[in-house]
């Protein structure tokens, strides 16, 4: 598999439709610019849907890829290594911020186990049946997975994207449930942006103290040494310093762009996968929105590289797709405004006014003008 092949499969959202949407926007009763960025979002959705006026977002879905990362053994996370299954269980039980928001917004949640480090019997079969491998290697000293596993993970993401597109999902909120995932994601971003470990090392969604931050920075530094020699091959890069969940998410993002399915990115993990996908297909970011500012320096670098401007900055660092889901109502509002606001009434044509100083009257039977 060569991810570069996606470059020929992905087209940009329809520019002609976007121009039509912009022209329609100028005719609405609310002056252009009065709705701020909502205007831009509505026009972007029109281009993605190839529809003017834009259609409402009626079948959004949250998709979360789950996995454990061996690098968490170094104490780089606020959670214990191998405990991502607890995040999955809490989400299924409705006891996480993401689950509460999804319930409030009536958005279904799909969890895909790509690389959890737990017995499959601990979770529903619908979650674990896609698993590529159990956990991932310690990326500071070994590969996250084999090349064959990386390809399987990417193909898994492609298959999930096809299933969502075929089922009628019209927008995806993308997130992750992982332990150690921000370390792998930050490594990918540092490698692709050509920067140092200290520039991209954050404190993760669980929060870490200064000593843990130093351990995380050292792990990213060591993983970067292993990542740089394989930068020319995105699949090999994912196998070396990514993980099954990150590889699956990368395949998912690429195939969503192929299927013209818009995606809202959440935090640093989904942003890292998006950056890998952009390296493979430069048009792909045109199908994504950045949901929020996560506070992770690596996410900021990735979004800058992709020229994606986050919709929200509410200081939400919990991850797990929560920030991206908070942005969903904003996107839905933009679609509703673009579709439902009426156009201005046509101006008076002026057919019954004086022309060139002559009065307009009624023509009689002999062709003479008869004054009213």
Residues with catalytic function: 320
HSE-up of residue 222 (Cα within 13 Å, Cβ side): 13
Judge whether 52 and 45 are in contact, CB under 8 Å.
Answer: no
Judge whether 172 and 65 are in contact, CB under 8 Å.
Answer: no
d(CA 370, CA 360): 9
- 264's enclosing H/E stretch is strand 263-265
Residue 144's closest CA among 102, 183, 202, 198?
Answer: 183
- How many residues would you count in the chain? 372
Which residue shows structure tokens 């606001």? 341
d(CA 268, CA 245): 13
CA distances from 152 to 44, 114, 253, 290 (A): 32, 10, 15, 27
Please list the residues that pair with 358 across neighbouring strands.
355
CA distances from 175 to 217, 271, 308, 318, 350 (A): 23, 10, 17, 11, 57
Q: What is the 3-state secondary structure (H, E, C) of 56-87?
A: CCCCEEEEEEEEECHHHHHCCCCCCCCCHHHH
Helix and strand element counts for the chain (H, E): 14, 7
Residue 69's closest CA among 151, 134, 156, 141?
Answer: 134
Residue 249's closest CA among 327, 132, 139, 107?
Answer: 132
**Rg for the chain (alpha carbons), in Å?**
25
Helices of type H across 231-321? 234-241, 244-258, 268-280, 297-306
């Amino acid at each position: 598999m060569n991810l570069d092949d996606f470059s020929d499969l992905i087209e940009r959202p329809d520019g002609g439709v976007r121009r039509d949407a912009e022209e329609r926007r100028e005719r609405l009763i609310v002056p252009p610019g009065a709705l701020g960025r909502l205007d831009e979002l509505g026009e972007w959705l029109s281009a993605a849907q190839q529809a003017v006026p834009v259609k409402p977002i009626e079948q959004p879905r949250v998709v979360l890829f789950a996995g454990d990362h061996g690098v968490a053994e170094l104490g780089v996370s606020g959670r214990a290594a191998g405990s991502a299954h607890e995040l999955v269980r809490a989400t299924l039980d409705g006891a996480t911020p993401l689950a509460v928001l999804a319930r409030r917004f009536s958005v279904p949640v799909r969890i895909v186990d790509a690389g959890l480090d737990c017995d499959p019997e601990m979770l529903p079969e619908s979650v674990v049946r896609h698993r590529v491998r159990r956990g991932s290697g310690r990326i500071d000293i070994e590969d996250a997975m084999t090349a064959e596993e990386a390809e399987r993970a990417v193909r898994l993401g492609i298959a999930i994207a096809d299933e969502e597109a075929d089922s009628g999902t019209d927008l995806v909120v993308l997130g992750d449930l992982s332990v150690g995932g921000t370390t792998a994601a930050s490594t990918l971003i540092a490698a692709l942006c050509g920067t140092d470990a200290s520039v991209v090392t954050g404190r993760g969604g669980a929060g870490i103290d200064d000593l843990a931050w130093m351990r995380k920075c050292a792990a990213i530094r060591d993983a970067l040494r292993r990542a740089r020699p394989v930068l020319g091959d995105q699949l090999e890069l994912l196998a070396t310093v990514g993980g099954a969940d990150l590889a699956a998410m990368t395949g998912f993002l690429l195939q969503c762009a192929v299927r013209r399915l818009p995606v809202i990115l959440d935090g640093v993990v989904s942003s890292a996968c998006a950056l890998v996908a952009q390296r493979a297909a430069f048009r792909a970011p045109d199908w994504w929105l950045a949901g929020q500012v996560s506070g992770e320096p690596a996410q900021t670098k990735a979004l800058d590289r992709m020229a994606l401007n986050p919709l929200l900055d509410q200081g939400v660092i919990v991850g797990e797709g929560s920030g991206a889901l908070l942005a969903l109502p904003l996107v839905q509002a933009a679609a509703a405004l673009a579709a439902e606001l009426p156009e201005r009434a046509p101006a008076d044509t002026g057919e019954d006014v004086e022309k060139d100083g002559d009065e307009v009257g009624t023509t009689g039977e002999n062709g003479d003008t008869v004054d009213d």
